[in-house]
Structure 1
Amino acid sequence: HLFLVLVIEGGALMAVELMGAKLVAPFYGGSLYVWAAVLAITVLGLTLGYHAGGRLAKKRPSETKLFVALGISALLVLALPLTASISMAFTRGMDLIVGICVTCVLLLLPPMLCFGIVGPLVVALMSSQLETVGRTAGTVYFTSTLGGIAATFFLGLYFIPVAGLRLCATVTGLSLAALPVLYIMKMLFGGGKRGSSAFVPLRRDRSIPATAKRSKGSSKKSKSRKPVRRSIYLFAVLEGATVMAVELLAARMIAPYFGSSLYVWATVIGFTLLALAIGYFAGGIMADKYGGPDTLLWVLLTASIFLMLMPVSSQWLTIAFVNITPGAAVILVSLILILPPLLFLGMIPTFLIRKLSARADSAGSNAGVVYTISSASSIVALPVFGFLVIPRYGLTMPSIITGFAVGLIPFVKLIARQRYISLGFIPVVLFSFWATKTHQPGKAVDVQYYSEGLLGQLLVADVSKDRFLFVNRTGQTWVDKETFKPKWDYASYVRSICSKSPEKSSALILGLGGGTVANIFQNSLGFSVDAVELDQRIAEVAKRYFALNSKVNVVVDDARHYLEESQKKYDVILFDVYRGEAPPPHVFTLESLTRTKSLLKEDGLIIVNFNGFWNGKIGEAARSIYKTLLAAGLETGILPTPGDEAGRNMLFVASRKKQDFHTLRLPLLQHGKEVDIEALFENPQKVDLTDAVVLTDNKPILELLNIRAGNAWRKGYVEMTKRFYKEGIPLFR
């Protein structure tokens, strides 16, 4: 039954992490700040739990302590939606980052601490012989991680978006609560005797000392066992930090070609957990059979080689799989890129547990110590790599140098022990540095700016007479590089629609991009403009490369957070917010749009810029946004720009009461002639909303609905990325 405990605990752990990020989103958004805080607090809670579990396992491990921890975690999980509401109310008015961190601590730290206690206790309860401690520890964390993998795909891709956060919290909490309930029933109806029911624990008999169960040979071996140096804990530090670095680097390496959609994210997380699960299990077996001093060194050296080759292999693999479907390609690239380094890194914790355990009954406490140290180092690595190293140095050199650092000590020690086959490390190092040299870009593409940061990769490139702004290689802005006139039709449509409002009107733009619409509002329409942009780099790029008017007031904040905190009323509010090809689901919910309506002046306009897919399953996301606008009590018109669905935009023009667009200050011009924009609106009577849904904070389903449209929209940019690569522009630096 302890295996059942591990599967449910592992699945619940991942469920709480996923739900935590979604529960915070309605106030703080879904930015990297939120995900970094969720991940950091999750790991911090687990770290404290591992430490507490190790202490409990050292003193007197018992099933009662295990199931008490599970029972407490069940109550905390059931209360998650309420806790989230209270936490966000408590942090209202705080700075964005401070508020996110405090909310995540209140929401996630207590349940994660309980989850962390489980592993060391189960290792202690299941360890009966010293010779199988490694296998036992590996099996425990392998089983728990398998539960996490199942939860990632089932909950992340289906259950949370479709069933909702409240139901997910209820199901997860009740699943956890069932475990202590069954334990209590076993104790009551089984008379409290072990083995009196089918619900039998796998644990050693406490009446027989563990040493008495070993053979004479193993007893002699344990007596002659040398004390383990404390420096061995440095391997746990190295493993924890490197696993976090690999996860961050791999996701960024994949994004420029495959994007950052829900499926891509789930694939990366899924393979990360799968690799670690296999590593935990293999490391335990290896530690029991091949526990010699060289084994751990070879494992680290192998991991370092794969890590140093990640930059070149990711680009080669991506180009090699260009002719297969995107879904299959991202799976294959993730499999080959992520699995090898993380598999070998995953071997290290269970190997260390076996190495540190002089007796079988010390396995639980050692598991707590090893995973405490490993998790603590990953907490440090998260902000260091996520917010310092990657933004400043890119992806290639951090990957190579991290791999080199991981492999250097094992290489030196193996050479000192005359293991000369390890000299193969040298040509790998030389090759990885040589491969960073790229061809000089051709004349067709002139890169003006490149950086990695909060939203991923930013790239400003001139192609012929045009200038583009890309986020993760998806176009955000397209202008004439001399005049900075926008090339996308939606900008002129927005200009004409908004010219209904008089000069000196107040306008709010959510999502700055290159600032083309902000300039139209400021320069052509004479508006007072506030533009909310989460990534400070985009604001700087807009000013430097796209001539953003200095009078535009740029507010660095999450769009949803700004809407929730602002008290200012606006004449025009434009939603022009994307993360690459993916619309942020927390921005387009009924609650968000209702809040936006409250910030709108009586005759004001809300305009939502969305992709052009409208018909069939591929247009389900757009139709759901339209249905949600209607549900918010807004009179909403549907205005498509020219072209086919893949090349156009869809504008939703909403207001408190029906508007007349026959007379405008700046009429729409097409081919030099004025056009009555009112005649271009779709007939709402012909719109079928049968399969559309009203988007809510509880069911963040927009990203799931938009996957087909996002992939189709990105397809054109994939062709441009191939062209750039042929011109000597790498997928990342």
Structure 2
Amino acid sequence: MSTTRSLDALRLTKPELAVFVSGVASMGLEILAGRMIAPQFGSSIYTWGSIIGVFLAALSYGYHRGGKQAATRATNGRMARVFLLTAAYVAGLIFMGDLLLRATIGFPLPSRFASLPAIILLFGPPTYFLGYISPYAAELSSKEGIGEASGHVYMLGTVGSIVGAFATTYFLIPSLGIDQIALVFGVISVATAIALVGPRLNKDQIIVNGFVALLLVAAAGSGAAGISVEGRVVYETQTPYQELQVVDLGDTRTLYLDGQRHSAMDLEDPQRHVFGYTRYFHLPLLMTDDVDRVLFVGGGGFTGPKRFAHDYNVTVDVAEIDPEVIRVSKEYFGVEESAKLNIYNEGGRQFLRDTNETYDLIVLDAYRKDKVPFELTTEEFMELANDRLSDDGVLFANLISAPSGPASQFYRAEYKTISQVYPQVYSFPTSGGAVVQNIEVIATKNETRLTEEQLLARNEKRDIGIGLASEIRTYQEPPRTEDVPLLRDDRAPVDALLDPMVGQRYVLEETNETASSDVSTVRVAG
């Protein structure tokens, strides 16, 4: 008897089911919004703050409108219609989300607010619809008294949000693409609508539910064509950390992370440097002697690690935090672990903290235009890296910023921070002008500063397997740093420093290497 009562207590009524599912769907869509918005607007604190604010505002307005109507209009059938409207809008997101996203880029807003129109357009309406559910369910609740009914609804909605957050974060995003995840929430909404008006559906209900379900399936099918404006999509997924795509265009295979080019490989000549900035990885070999062990923090397509392991008698360790990036690099970019190339699935700071190895060169290649792990930028981290370097070791940081102007704040703050730890710091912008680009910052423990002429002379004398004269000629004098902050663990406003780059074109140089290692470059938008 007690077991039967317990089961009855766990069984949800139709209004309770509606509240629970609305919590699952609203929180799941909120997390999904971050993945859809990030490729165009980045995943800074401003983007996430805008997402949270829009979802709360849309839900609040839905609560308000639903509450005013609940006394006269609250029925299971009306809640079913709300879920069908939500599912239909989700179908539209699957089918036209990318087009709508790109259409909102041109709004004349300050950079930190640039993502707001896209978030409102894509996710405001379905979240508003879901806001109707809680007041309707409270009105239909079997609980005695307004207080008990309201509390019960809040509890179920919150539990649903918890389930939606964990399920989306730990199961859906690592396993499915964006369109597939949206399809899951659309199907759940249709299933809930059927449950609310079941078990017997009339002819009109069958037609409407069937039409919305068909709309979802058609949208999901059309969104999986495998073609993008960048080329043919060979593979794509949502990892625990980012959206990942492998795209082939001609003989070039490119790794995209959150919609931005990260690494590229020539399918006909896998050892060739496709992007010009990876040639700069070899510059430290002109600044120090006897490089025996190298650490790359950040793997991506493993262009640098592969080339070092292939060209030199060195041991290369790579610390890459994203396990899917490691798997994809092995399957699609020809990466093979060996006695000379070791890959560790760890964050860079954790790896440096735990390792007992001493390195002659540490390459920081984990920065992006819009997403920079602040824990790899601070003075404390630079001191940790310094402790893991040999006496004549070199630190190399591949930054994305501008060498001057408003968009240079991150570069200049990082230069200032690195200069607090290392006696000499050098800068090598990879493209002309004040555009957003890769800027290679190299720091040494040597007190004596090398000039551009000395580096050119070393390039002539030393055989390091690659000619770097054109790279050396991008040598830049130290920037002004008095107006930018020193980055520390207790205050590293990286998002604010990156903010001026939002909406600016990222110029990425491609190379045409020849057998003699002479290089011509072409600018492309990153």
TM category, shorter: 0.7 to 0.9
Residue deviations 1:432-482 (CA, integer Å, cap 9, x gap): 322322557499833322211123221111212322111011010123221
- 2: CA distance between counterparts of 1:676 and 1:459? 31
The one-letter code of the counterpart of 2:124 is L
The answer to whether 1:706 aligns with 2:491 is no
Identify the residue that residue 65 of structure 1 maps to in structure 2: none
- Of 602-611 and 428-437, deviating more is 428-437
- Of 393-402 and 535-544, deviating more is 393-402
Residue deviations 1:46-87 (CA, integer Å, cap 9, x gap): xxxxxxxxxxxxxxxxxxxxxxxxxxxxxxxxxxxxxxxxxx
Relative distance call for 1:366 and 1:494 in structure 2 (3 A) is same
Q: CA deviation at 1:517?
A: 0.8
The question of whether the paired residues in 2 share the 8 Å contact of 1:297 and 1:410 is answered with yes
The answer to whether 1:297 aligns with 2:80 is yes
The question of whether the paired residues in 1 share the 8 Å contact of 2:437 and 2:508 is answered with no
1:663 to 439, 458, 462: 458
Q: CA deviation at 1:611?
A: 1.9
Tell me, what secondary structure is at the counterpart of 2:115? helix
Identify the residue that residue 127 of structure 2 maps to in structure 1: 342
Q: CA deviation at 1:412?
A: 5.9
Identify the residue that residue 311 of structure 2 maps to in structure 1: 524
Q: CA deviation at 1:622?
A: 0.4
The question of whether the paired residues in 1 share the 8 Å contact of 2:284 and 2:361 is answered with no
- 2: CA distance between counterparts of 1:323 and 1:676? 36
Matches within 5 A, 1:167-178: none
- 1: CA distance between counterparts of 2:471 and 2:81? 69
Relative distance call for 1:230 and 1:574 in structure 2 (3 A) is same
Tell me, what secondary structure is at the counterpart of 2:154? helix
- 2: CA distance between counterparts of 1:563 and 1:271? 39
The answer to whether 1:248 aligns with 2:43 is no
The answer to whether 1:428 aligns with 2:223 is no
Residue deviations 1:361-408 (CA, integer Å, cap 9, x gap): x51x44443333332333333332223223323122332232222223
Tell me, what secondary structure is at the counterpart of 2:243? strand
Q: CA deviation at 1:715?
A: 8.1
The answer to whether 1:447 aligns with 2:233 is yes
- 2: CA distance between counterparts of 1:605 and 1:593? 12
Q: CA deviation at 1:560?
A: 2.5
Q: CA deviation at 1:499?
A: 5.2
Tell me, what secondary structure is at the counterpart of 2:222? coil
Relative distance call for 1:410 and 1:488 in structure 2 (3 A) is closer
The answer to whether 1:535 aligns with 2:322 is yes
The question of whether the paired residues in 2 share the 8 Å contact of 1:308 and 1:401 is answered with no
Residue deviations 1:683-702 (CA, integer Å, cap 9, x gap): 23xx3222121012222311
Residue deviations 1:461-514 (CA, integer Å, cap 9, x gap): 121232211101101012322112112222222213235445562211111111
Relative distance call for 1:312 and 1:644 in structure 2 (3 A) is same
Matches within 5 A, 1:303-382: 303-321=86-104, 324=107, 330-356=115-141, 359-360=144-145, 363=147, 365-382=148-165
The one-letter code of the counterpart of 2:169 is G
The one-letter code of the counterpart of 1:339 is G
The question of whether the paired residues in 1 share the 8 Å contact of 2:230 and 2:247 is answered with no
The one-letter code of the counterpart of 1:424 is V
The one-letter code of the counterpart of 1:428 is V
Tell me, what secondary structure is at the counterpart of 1:309? helix
The question of whether the paired residues in 2 share the 8 Å contact of 1:518 and 1:548 is answered with no
2:344 to 535, 555, 560: 555
1:456 to 235, 239, 242: 242
The question of whether the paired residues in 1 share the 8 Å contact of 2:367 and 2:399 is answered with no
The answer to whether 1:625 aligns with 2:414 is yes
- 2: CA distance between counterparts of 1:306 and 1:632? 53
The answer to whether 1:467 aligns with 2:259 is no
Matches within 5 A, 1:710-729: 710-714=502-506
- 2: CA distance between counterparts of 1:649 and 1:715? 8
The question of whether the paired residues in 1 share the 8 Å contact of 2:365 and 2:398 is answered with yes
Residue deviations 1:644-696 (CA, integer Å, cap 9, x gap): 443742111112233545536446966xxx63976653223xx3222121012
Relative distance call for 1:411 and 1:329 in structure 2 (3 A) is farther
Identity of aligned residues (%): 23
Q: CA deviation at 1:577?
A: 0.5
Relative distance call for 1:330 and 1:715 in structure 2 (3 A) is farther
Q: CA deviation at 1:633?
A: 4.6
Identify the residue that residue 183 of structure 2 maps to in structure 1: 400
Q: CA deviation at 1:538?
A: 1.2
Tell me, what secondary structure is at the counterpart of 1:478? strand
Matches within 5 A, 1:111-510: 230=13, 232-321=15-104, 324=107, 330-356=115-141, 359-360=144-145, 363=147, 365-411=148-194, 413-414=196-197, 416=200, 420=204, 423-435=207-219, 436-437=221-222, 441=227, 445-484=231-270, 485-498=272-285, 500-502=287-289, 505-510=292-297
- 1: CA distance between counterparts of 2:102 and 2:132? 31
- 2: CA distance between counterparts of 1:419 and 1:556? 55
1:683 to 471, 477, 483: 477
- 2: CA distance between counterparts of 1:701 and 1:668? 40
The question of whether the paired residues in 2 share the 8 Å contact of 1:560 and 1:586 is answered with yes
- 1: CA distance between counterparts of 2:353 and 2:71? 56
Relative distance call for 1:550 and 1:359 in structure 2 (3 A) is closer
The question of whether the paired residues in 2 share the 8 Å contact of 1:624 and 1:695 is answered with yes
Identify the residue that residue 516 of structure 2 maps to in structure 1: none
Identify the residue that residue 598 of structure 1 maps to in structure 2: 387
Relative distance call for 1:501 and 1:521 in structure 2 (3 A) is farther
- 2: CA distance between counterparts of 1:452 and 1:229? 33
Relative distance call for 1:346 and 1:715 in structure 2 (3 A) is farther
- 2: CA distance between counterparts of 1:384 and 1:501? 50
Identify the residue that residue 637 of structure 1 maps to in structure 2: 426
Matches within 5 A, 1:84-103: none
Residue deviations 1:166-194 (CA, integer Å, cap 9, x gap): xxxxxxxxxxxxxxxxxxxxxxxxxxxxx
The question of whether the paired residues in 1 share the 8 Å contact of 2:226 and 2:234 is answered with no
Tell me, what secondary structure is at the counterpart of 2:212? helix
Q: CA deviation at 1:716?
A: 7.9
Q: CA deviation at 1:275?
A: 1.3
Query: Which gives a bigger RCO, structure 1 or 2 (Cα 8 Å, sep 6+)?
Result: 1
Residue deviations 1:333-371 (CA, integer Å, cap 9, x gap): 2112111111122232333334337554x51x4444333
Identify the residue that residue 522 of structure 2 maps to in structure 1: none
Q: CA deviation at 1:629?
A: 0.9
Structure 1: runs of 5+ lacking an equivalent: 1-227, 718-733
Relative distance call for 1:263 and 1:668 in structure 2 (3 A) is farther
- 2: CA distance between counterparts of 1:434 and 1:348? 27
TM-score, with structure 1 as normaliser: 0.60
- 1: CA distance between counterparts of 2:87 and 2:474? 59
The one-letter code of the counterpart of 1:382 is A
- 2: CA distance between counterparts of 1:597 and 1:519? 24
The number of residue pairs the alignment matches comes to 483
Q: CA deviation at 1:705?
A: 1.0
Structure showing greater Rg? 1
- Of 437-446 and 629-638, deviating more is 437-446
TM-score, with structure 2 as normaliser: 0.82
Residue deviations 1:549-594 (CA, integer Å, cap 9, x gap): 4222111112232233334322111111135642222210122212
The one-letter code of the counterpart of 1:389 is L
